[in-house]
Amino acid sequence: MLGIYKPAEGMTVDQENGTPWPADGMDAPNTLFVRRRIACGDLVEAEKPVDPSADVELENGPPIVPVPETPEIEQPDGAETETPPRSRRSKGEK
């Protein structure tokens, strides 16, 4: 994506599929068609639209996600704590 672009002042720009480009702007796909509209001045860079519902979530703070605790496993005295080596066959053995 190239960023948020909107039609230049007084311009009406169609998207590749023929639908009109939103007047408040949208995230422009990185295509030759869009790059040409930007180069000729039909599309200009726009500010990212403000989503009012996003502000409500930030006022309450980020959601708290509980982190499960991993219980510690106690090893009996003298028990091995390392993984024993695996026996491997060479390519010649079958």
Q: List, as one string, the DSSP characters of 11-27.
A: ---B-TTSPBPPTT-EE
Which pLDDT score is estimated for 64? 77
d(CA 86, CA 55): 55
In angstroms, the CA 26 to CA 77 distance is: 65
What is the pTM assigned to this prediction? 0.51
pLDDT tens-place values along the chain, 94 residues long = 788 999 999 999 999 999 999 999 999 999 999 999 999 999 999 987 666 665 555 566 777 777 777 777 676 676 666 666 777 666 665 5
Q: What are the distances in angstroms from CA 14 to CA 1, 11, 33?
A: 18, 10, 10
Q: Residue 2: what residue type? A: L
Q: How far apart are CA 3 and CA 19, in angstroms?
A: 19
